[in-house]
Amino acid sequence: QVQLVESGGGLVQAGGSLRLSCAASGSIFSINTMAWYRQASGNERELLATITSGESTNYADSVKDRFTILRDNAKNTVFLQMNSLKPEDTAVYYCKISTANRWGYVTAYWGKGTLVTVSS
């Protein structure tokens, strides 16, 4: 099995920055796409950013030009650098990775979430 451990959440003032990390461990043959989502209270989970194994990235319009997704393949880790944070960025942030085994079977795993609170 694969475990994901997220870190880096916390309280920050509007305009500030945070860097989230999500480290994967366990039985990993290869990692395909890595992604960050968030879920604000009362809202559905929202896809924020994805990064492929070839390091192609995509962003939601709500975070484009403010957030950057990065990955360190040697450490099976994905990062989310968040700049110019706004109160509306307050949410629980989740990482998700898609792994493939040696036969190409794909499995998705979720982290447990880390809370980001942006004060005005």
Sheet holding 2-7, edge to edge: 2-7, 18-26, 77-82, 67-72
The single-letter DSSP state of residue 29 is S
The Cα–Cα gap between 18 and 37 comes to 15
12-61: per-residue pLDDT in tens? 999 999 999 999 999 888 999 999 999 999 999 999 999 999 999 999 99
Q: Which residues pair with 19 in a beta bridge?
A: 81
So what's the pLDDT on residue 27? 86
If one compares 101 and 48, the residue with the highest pLDDT of the two is 48
So what's the pLDDT on residue 104? 87
